[in-house]
Amino acid sequence: MALIITDECINCDVCEPECPNGAITQGDEIYIIDPDKCTECVGHYDTPQCREVCPVDCIPEDPDHVETKDQLMAKFKKLTAG
């Protein structure tokens, strides 16, 4: 399941550099996560790094992009292939 950033985001800039897939970018008002690039850090880390550093806990799972760990791993492999 990809993650999303809610409107509780305070634009503190700490999540974006932590994303190993480059899935987090500055949106018009708050940071956004590209669901095509978000693997919840599967393949890189045991836990989503953006969640680890977020001071306001505004990064829940995105119910519109439900994925299993196997699907997230397949996405990781596709993103990091050659």
The domain total for the chain is 1
Q: 3 in a domain, yes or no?
A: no
Q: Which domain holds residue 62?
A: 16-80
Report how far residue 78's alpha carbon sits from residue 43's, in angstroms, rounded to the nearest whole number.
11
The sign of the torsion formed by the CA atoms of 52, 4, 25, 72 equals positive
Distances in whole angstroms, Cα of residue 26 to Cα of each of 1, 39, 42: 21, 18, 22
- Give per-residue pLDDT as tens, 40-74: 999 999 999 999 999 999 999 999 999 999 999 99
* 3 state DSSP class of 16: helix
Q: 1 in a domain, yes or no?
A: no
Q: 69 in a domain, yes or no?
A: yes
Q: 26 in a domain, yes or no?
A: yes
Q: 2 in a domain, yes or no?
A: no
Q: What is the pTM of this model?
A: 0.92
* Other CB atoms within 10 Å distance of the CB of residue 65: 15
Q: 58 in a domain, yes or no?
A: yes
- What CATH code is carried by the domain that includes residue 67? 3.30.70.20
Q: Decide if pLDDT at 82 tops 80.
A: no
